[in-house]
Amino acid sequence: MIPIAFKNEIHQRQPIAILAADIGGTKTNVALYECGDKGLSIVKEKRYASKDHPSLTDIIHDFSGGKLPDRICAAVAGPVIDGKSKLTNLSWLLDSKAMSQEMKIPVCFINDLEATAYGMAGLDAKDLATLAEGEPGSKGNIAIIAPGTGLGEAGLFWDGQRYHPFATEGGHSDFGPRTPIDIEIFHYLQQQFGHVSWERVVSGMGIKNIFHFLTDHRKEQIPEWLSQRMQDEDPAAVISQAALHHEDLVCAQTMELFVRYLATESSSLVLKLMATGGLYLAGGIPPKILPLLQGDSWTRNFDNNGRMHELSDRIPVHVVLNDKMALQGAAYYGAYNM
């Protein structure tokens, strides 16, 4: 468990009900928590397809069944400024003040990676898979990178006793090509999108972008069964699973590039945050491709940062296996920071 700084005491005298939500471009997870003198406990939860609903309010009313909680805190896949957010990969407009007035209860929105960081307050050893032990007992700032539908990045500032989570939008910073094939991908994506961010190559959409670069631009051939599966199922999941099971060479090439880009940007994030306390790979993708991250490609590219090689060698690196960290973090924030 990581010591997170909260405004309020960890234990509440009177039990309160908190509705926590994790809003993503693909799905919205909602859960009801109870916070009392024994801490936080989950009562019930449900998953919704985000695009099947016109608003978060619609989901909350469906989930609550007419009985609203004491507080609502939602993790949002995008920047939150003055309680307002326009989601990066979803058309909803969120306004915490307007929702609070409408529902007559406190409503709060925080960035989903900031929520993931708060969720680390309840992290157990079983929730982690270690890629690198690093230096035992390392202290200092922590970096979190989370590829899912998009790419999220966050940090935790270490004050000497507790961690203070903060959000970033680093996933939208410029992709930095290193090799000739990287430059090819950069130009391929630049023609489509103009600006090429790390999210364009390190996310679910990034897996699809790399795959289409190989098949459309480089004219790599794929079998009919793979093409059919990609029409019927989530293409990124199909590609990653085909790579894991050694079913297709193009899928393997796609995921090799994906892992290299994830390792490269992770290393950059560690340097920018001076994250001697460790790097945590969260989000929906890393747990699903764990065997690919446990190969030498990750280590080779994570440590490939020139004169800072000795620093990155000391950094503990973990994959967060619990895919509900943002939901858990929203609940913690709602309980102890609102």
Q: For 51-62, how does the pLDDT look when each residue is reduced to its tens digit (9 = 90+)?
A: 899 999 999 999
Place 138 in a pLDDT band, splitting at 50, 70 and 90.
confident
Whole-number pLDDT of residue 298: 94
Which residue(s) pair with 39 in the sheet? 36
pLDDT at 335 exceeding the cut of 90: yes
Place 172 in a pLDDT band, splitting at 50, 70 and 90.
very high
Q: What's the pLDDT tens digit per position in 185-200? A: 999 999 999 999 999 9
pLDDT at 9 exceeding the cut of 70: no
pLDDT at 12 exceeding the cut of 60: no
CB 142 within 8 A of CB 168: no
Whole-number pLDDT of residue 13: 61
Whole-number pLDDT of residue 104: 95
CB 300 within 8 A of CB 336: no
CB 110 within 8 A of CB 76: yes
Which residue(s) pair with 27 in the sheet? 49
Whole-number pLDDT of residue 90: 79
pLDDT at 180 exceeding the cut of 80: yes
CB 6 within 8 A of CB 332: yes
Whole-number pLDDT of residue 10: 56
Return the CATH architecture of domain 128-321: 3-Layer(aba) Sandwich (3.40)
Question: How high is the mean pLDDT of the chain?
Answer: 93
Q: What is the mean pLDDT of residues 207-217?
A: 97
Task: Count H helices and E strands in the chain, helices first.
Answer: 13, 13
**Tokens standing for 222?**
């794929």
Report domain extents, the chain: 16-119+324-336, 128-321
d(CA 32, CA 72): 9
CB 202 within 8 A of CB 178: no
pTM higher than the cut 0.95:
no
pLDDT at 297 exceeding the cut of 80: yes
d(CA 217, CA 99): 46
Which CATH number is associated with domain 16-119+324-336? 3.30.420.40
